[in-house]
């Protein structure tokens, strides 16, 4: 409350809110009554009813990073500023990605499987075709070079990997201020179809950290999965619909891909009995890669900073481009 400008009043809602995914669930009658005279709304996602009833709203903020479920006609038709919480999830998500990479690079899946079966698996690690490598001898592709992608790249480069990044626009480059103190020159970033094709075909570990838009749905289709390096690993912590799951299962079943680390799915919760649950080449987490005890500290800092900016008429952090979809 001390961070509020003079004259501000905050109405705290006590109704349940769903912070999973993009948010934007149903709005209660209590909430709709509260937004009628509000200038600012903050929640997990922005239900369309909030904008229909909140005719005086000037700024809405979502505590989620994804915005797909909030980009409905009332949002697109209104001249209201929309911010999200992209970036505050970057550190824990990058650490989850790093753990998934090392899980496959160091053969932890082999060790865990042998442990469950009561076997001493040393011969499997000594074999000439053992699926064990060093990250410093690998190429990590990062598709989506925003806050999360930069943190992934920083960690991979710090462990000696070559990183090939792909972003939507902007000039290509090497090194630069990416993440926290990465070794200059080990990160190459490009944009456009050629850069995307290069990252897919060259990567030993291909990481998806880009938003879901009309252009990125099924980005990793059957054709692109086939163009990945044999024995590569795909890691998806972005959105489930970026990947053709049926084609991915085929690539895993045939052994073309070493494995997949996946935190997001086309259908969530993932239905009981889905092949991912028992597949030996799948490492999955239930859409929790961003979970951290540091969430509220980062969220509070973003919100209070933006409240100050809003009250002073300054540009807000994390403004969403509603037409671009992120």
Domains recognised in the chain with CATH numbers: 1-89+293-326 (3.40.50.720), 90-284 (3.40.50.720)
Q: What is the pLDDT of residue 66?
A: 83
According to DSSP, the β-strands at 259-262 and 282-284 are: parallel
Catalytic residue list: 239, 268, 287
pTM of the model: 0.85
Q: What is the pLDDT of residue 177?
A: 37
Q: What is the pLDDT along the chain (326 residues), one digit of tens a residue?
A: 567 888 888 888 877 666 666 776 678 888 899 899 999 999 989 999 999 999 999 999 999 888 888 999 999 999 999 999 988 999 999 999 999 999 999 999 999 999 999 999 999 999 999 999 999 999 999 999 999 999 999 999 999 999 999 998 754 454 443 444 444 448 999 999 999 999 999 999 999 999 999 999 999 999 999 999 999 999 999 999 999 999 999 999 999 999 999 999 999 999 999 999 999 999 999 999 999 988 889 999 999 999 999 999 999 999 999 988 88
Q: What is the pLDDT of residue 11?
A: 86
310-317 contacts, C-beta under 8 A, 24 or more apart: 310/40, 310/58, 310/59, 311/5, 311/8, 316/59, 316/81, 316/83, 317/83
Q: What is the pLDDT of residue 289?
A: 95
Question: Residue 42 and residue 161: Cα distance in Å, rounded?
Answer: 40
What would the two tokens of residue 77 be?
Answer: 């038709």
């Amino acid at each position: 409350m001390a961070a509020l400008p003079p004259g501000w009043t905050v109405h705290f809602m006590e109704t349940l809110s769903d912070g999973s995914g993009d948010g934007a669930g149903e709005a209660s009658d209590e909430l709709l009554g509260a937004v009628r005279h509000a200038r600012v709304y903050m929640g997990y996602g922005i239900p369309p009813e909030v904008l229909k009833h909140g005719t005086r709203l000037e700024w809405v903020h979502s505590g989620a990073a994804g915005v797909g479920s909030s980009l409905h006609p009332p949002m697109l038709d209104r001249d209201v500023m929309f911010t999200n919480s992209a970036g505050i999830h970057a550190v824990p998500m990058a650490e989850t990605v790093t753990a998934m990479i090392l899980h496959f690079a160091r053969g932890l899946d082999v060790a865990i499987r042998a442990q469950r079966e009561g076997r001493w698996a040393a011969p499997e690690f000594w074999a000439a075709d053992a699926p064990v490598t060093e990250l410093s001898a690998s190429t990590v592709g990062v598709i989506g070079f925003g806050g999360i992608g930069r943190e992934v790249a920083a960690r991979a480069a710090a462990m000696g990997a070559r990183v090939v990044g792909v972003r939507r626009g902007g000039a290509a480059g090497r090194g630069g201020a990416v993440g926290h103190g990465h070794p200059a020159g080990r990160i190459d970033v490009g944009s456009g179809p050629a850069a995307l094709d290069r990252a897919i075909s060259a990567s030993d570990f291909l990481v998806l950290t880009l938003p879901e838009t009309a252009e990125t749905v099924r980005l990793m289709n059957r054709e692109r999965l086939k163009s990945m390096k044999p024995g590569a690993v795909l890691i998806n912590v972005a959105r489930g619909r970026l990947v053709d799951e049926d084609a991915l299962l085929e690539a895993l079943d045939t052994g073309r891909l070493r494995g997949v680390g996946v935190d997001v799915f086309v259908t969530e919760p993932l239905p009981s009995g889905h092949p991912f649950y028992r597949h030996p080449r799948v490492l999955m987490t239930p859409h929790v890669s961003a979970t951290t005890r540091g969430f509220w500290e980062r969220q509070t800092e973003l919100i209070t900073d933006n409240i100050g900016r809003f009250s002073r008429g300054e540009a807000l952090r994390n403004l969403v481009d509603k037409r671009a979809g992120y």
